[in-house]
Chain A
Amino acid sequence: MYKFKLASVVIGMSLAGSALAATEVEWWHAMGGANGEKVNEIAKAFNDSQDAYSVKPVYKGNYTETMTSAIAAFRAKQQPAIVQVFEVGTASMMAAKGAIYPVHQLMRESGQPFDESTYLSAVTGYYTSSEGKMLSMPFNSSTPVLYYNKDLFKKAGITQAPKTWQEVETTAKKLQQSGVSCGFTTAWQSWVHLENLSSRHNVPFASLDNGFGGLKTELTFNGPLQVAHVKKMGEWQKSGVFSYSGRTNDGAAKFYSQECAMFTESSAGYAGIKRNAKFEFGVTELPYWEGKVKQPSNTIIGGASLWVLQGHSKEEYKGVASFLSYLSRASVQADWHQFSGYLPITKAAYSLTKGQGFYAANPGTETGVTQMTTGTPTANTKGLRLGNFVQIRGVIDEELESVWSGDVDAQTALNTAVKRGNALLRKFERAND
């Protein structure tokens, strides 16, 4: 009898437990450091706001590691419900039709209110299908801007931040005369100096609307504009107007140490620069070539979005949908935007931030947003959708490096990059057709 009682108590408790326990939703992300802590904070705030679902963020290393582990987990049927994938992985995710649960469909099927027009199209455009449906939820998006050292500018007698590449050249030369050894350096060279160069001048980076039109896309970044820019950069590397400092954002060190007076880097680099720069700095829009375009177009984004993976229960997906709605709230978005320097994804978050006086108090933080939202995105500025893009960027890095070192001329290097990149595109087409 006693045993029976005990058993019923145990069963009763476990039933109660399962009724009370929130459905757990796993979220794999690549946000380390301060941003990682913020991610945990956001998840905790969501979990505290209701008791049906519990989002569990798991840090999985850098972007590549996070994506690779999610794919490996999918193959082993252990995938998380939500995974953060960087923008260059978009085409791979999109093509995996059996693996992803498109966000617009998830929201509809879970009965969450979802209005795509409230999002900033310049941000969501990168992640929408050719029919204009959102496939993933943008989370952290950024765009390249130009940072400059105000102290060094003052010393050289320069009063205006350069708007065009022509002005960058003359500014750099003036700086050099005043004793600065390097005009500018850059982070993420392919993203800034080829991908965004193309969109800023409304020139295609790849055929079929930069790959949005299908898998048969071919690279076209060996056109006259890109060749001229890369050629100029090669010359600048020799004269010290430009100084190359690696494939990622290691160039920041040269900007902090005041070796280089200007730095083209992601708008999300703002927090790091603010922390490390021991001088006054300014933020201005990414320059363009005067005479090559009348009105520069919007830049395209980098960063990452949240993809929902197949293979979970309906209950879990309800949790995912409610979490994604929570993330899109103006207050949550504005807080994340102001904390991290990533762009807001909804119009409401943008106007809320403006209303709070954040941009006025932190000059330069609005630059990325205004630059992103200039005009209506065209087929050349909506984004890039290229398979094997991670490898293609690697190819571009290699070929650009051979120009900076003076081994190969710009036209040959870009032709080779296009040829090697196209081979990777064909491989992707074959594997996913």
Chain B
Amino acid sequence: MTVTFPQKGLPWLLLLPQLLVTAIFFLWPAEQALEQAFYQEDAFGLSREFVGFENFIDLFTDPLYYQSMLTTLFFSFSVAILGISVALLLAVMADRVIRGKLAYQTLLIWPYAVAPALAGVLWWILFDPSMGPIALWLNSAGVDWNHYLNGNQAMILVVIASTWKQISYNFLFFLAGLQAVPRSLIEAASIDGASPFKRFWTIVFPLLSPTTFFLLVVNLVYAFFETFGVIDATTKGGPGQSTNTLVYKVFEDGFVGLDLGGSAAQSVVLMGIVGLMTVIQFRFIERKVQYS
């Protein structure tokens, strides 16, 4: 059924608030970034020089930029995959709990309310090489934990700190997805003698695939663009370049380094990546997912 409006003006009027928000907070800044990317300018905006594609050329001839791209890809997929698998495990477990179900579920959802920067600080304290409880425990177990020096350990730290929050979010979706799986299917399978493990992989998991797909997209976007707070609070992109993701680099170059042109060029590249990700999602992957 389609709802039709008698006159042309009303739908626009109803859309107006959303359109205004989009225009002011998304389109206008995007346009500004696009413009800025073709200029080199001093921080105070006292002089400005049109440089054409030079900011982009600088970017794409910089080996560190490619390194940052690889870092970002590795980081994002680690966060998405870890977050999804842990959340799925927890959701399957929570789904089976009968007594105190609500309390259990609420506790698992809680971390989502923690601000990213705070989550970062929390993990930073836990892993601090000289006073963090986890680091001290690792040291006594023979692991020389020092994320100030060891790039791989720094990466592990930011992945854990970024994933932790996201697990709650994923958990919520998986739990809802699990509750939508028809009991009759599972019961039929168990009558046929399928083990719990087999029932999960052949019935539950395929039926969860729309949820999993959705979460993969959301988690990747989250890891790409929203983990700035965690990285800033824990490693600040270091040691060396080991946790310097694309978004963190935009901040570093733009806000700390005051290189507005170079930072804007990076933002434009990021906008391109977002566009590309959206196209891939809906063109290629979504078709392969079963929706019912």
Q: Which residues of A line the B interface, CB within 8 A?
A: 64, 68, 71, 74-75, 92, 95-99, 237, 244-247, 250, 253-254, 257, 259, 388, 390-391, 394, 397-399, 401-402, 404-405, 407, 424, 427, 430-432
Contact = CB atoms under 8 A, between A and B. Distances in A.
Given A92-B43, A401-B149, A245 B257 contact: no
A250 B43 CA distance: 30
5 contacts: A92-B43, A96-B43, A244-B146, A388-B257, A388-B258
B291 interface: no
B130 A259 contact: yes
Contacts of B255: 64, 68
A95 B42 contact: yes
Interface of B: 40-47, 49, 128-131, 146, 148-151, 236, 238-241, 252-253, 255-259, 262
Contact of B258 (A71, A405, A430): A71
Contacts of A259: 130
B44 A75 contact: yes
B238 A257 contact: no
A401 B240 CA distance: 6
B37 to A, nearest CB: 15
B256 A405 contact: no
Given A253-B131, A390-B256, A394-B252, A98 B236 contact: no
A398 B47 CA distance: 31
A407 B242 CA distance: 13
Given A245-B129, A398-B240, A391 B256 contact: yes
Contacts of B252: 391, 394
Interface centre among B43, B129, B257 (most CB of A within 10 A): B43
B46 A245 contact: no
A408 to B, nearest CB: 9
B128 A253 contact: yes
A432 B128 contact: no
A247 B236 contact: yes
Contact of A432 (B47, B131, B148): B47
Contacts, number: 92
Contacts of A254: 130
Nearest to B260: A431
B148 to A, nearest CB: 5
B258 A401 contact: no
A98 B257 contact: no
A247 B130 contact: no
Best-surrounded residue of B45, B255, B256, B258 (most CB of chain A within 10 A):
B258
A60 B253 CA distance: 20
B148 A245 contact: yes
A259 B139 CA distance: 14
Nearest to A401: B239
Contacts of A95: 42
B109 to A, nearest CB: 32
A397 B238 CA distance: 9
B151 A405 contact: yes
B153 to A, nearest CB: 11
A402 B151 CA distance: 9
Contacts of B241: 398
A74 B239 CA distance: 34
Contacts of B130: 245, 253-254, 257, 259
B46 A98 contact: yes
Given A244-B149, A397-B238, A401-B238, A96 B44 contact: yes
A431 B42 contact: yes
A74 B46 CA distance: 10
A427 B260 CA distance: 11
A246 B148 contact: yes
Of listed A244, A246, A259, A424, residue having the most chain B CB within 10 A: A246
A404 B43 contact: no
B259 A71 contact: no
B187 to A, nearest CB: 57
Contacts of B47: 431-432
A64 B251 CA distance: 12
A299 B98 CA distance: 69
B137 to A, nearest CB: 16
A253 B129 CA distance: 10
Given A99-B44, A404-B239, 7 more contacts: A74-B44, A244-B149, A254-B130, A394-B256, A401-B240, A405-B151, A427-B259
